Amino acid sequence: MLPGRKKKGIFITGTDTGVGKTWITSRLAAILCRRGLNVGVWKPIQSGAMPGDPEADSFILKTIAGVDDAEHEISPFSFTAPLAPMMAAHLDGRALDVDTIMNSSENVFQRYDAVLVEGVGGLAVPLNNDEMIVDLAARLDYPVIVISRPGLGTINHTLLTLSYASQFGLSVLGVIFNGYEEEIPPAIDSMDEIGSAVAFQTSEMSNPFMVETISGTPVLGKVPRISDDVSLKEQINIIDCCVDVDKIVSEFESVIQ
């Protein structure tokens, strides 16, 4: 962490690319702002889209979160190729390292009481030969939220991510499962509650319980796949209902006091 900067933020990572990190981060920021918190967004690296492109993560974060920061401040390192940062930077004739990334953050961090920081891909995505996204997360030393898929295979991906975060001394606030196509699984406390219920014979229904039981990491939310036809206001309301936003608010309030 840069000298003299107060610890204030949450780092949002995923088990993979395409799990909805930007979608969740932008709408969580909007919810937190709606609740009266002075919250910014920062995704230091994006690849495959440049500022000004409506498909760029920087554009989505700025637009949905409603912040005034320029896109190049939200995402100071943008690369044209849709590749891991190390390769995308190389093809653009640039190089990345944690110190350089951290030094680009001050304009955003000075404006807000707290910031939602979104990583790129997962924690093991390389920045250079020696550093990965997890090194950036460790330097920030913020609590981590992991965004996961709900379907088959996510237990392995999520437990590996949680284990990797632990190896680097990261504190994980919780997991959000994003993208349920149909029913959202209810909260359950034991295997006995599952029994032989047909509903729990699908991985999407039982995965949150399995991850929480095995890892001891709380599930903060289970979010349905939301159609683009749904209004932004309703999208935000759905996230507010499906995610334990109170816990996230408490985490922010504890670091900005």
Distance of alpha carbon 212 from alpha carbon 154, whole angstroms: 12
Taking a C-beta distance cutoff of 8 angstroms, is the pair 45, 85 a contact? yes
Tell me the two tokens of residue 212. 């929480």
d(CA 257, CA 219): 26
Residues 6+ apart with CB under 8 A from 106: 2, 5
User: Which of left, alpha, beta for 47 (phi over 0: left; psi -120 to 50: alpha)?
Assistant: beta
Q: Which residues are catalytic?
A: 43
Rounded Cα gap, residues 232 and 221, in angstroms: 19
Task: Provide the token pair at 166.
Answer: 């632990």
Radius of gyration from C-alpha coordinates of the chain: 18
* Matching residue, tokens 């932008």: 26
3-state secondary structure of 79: strand
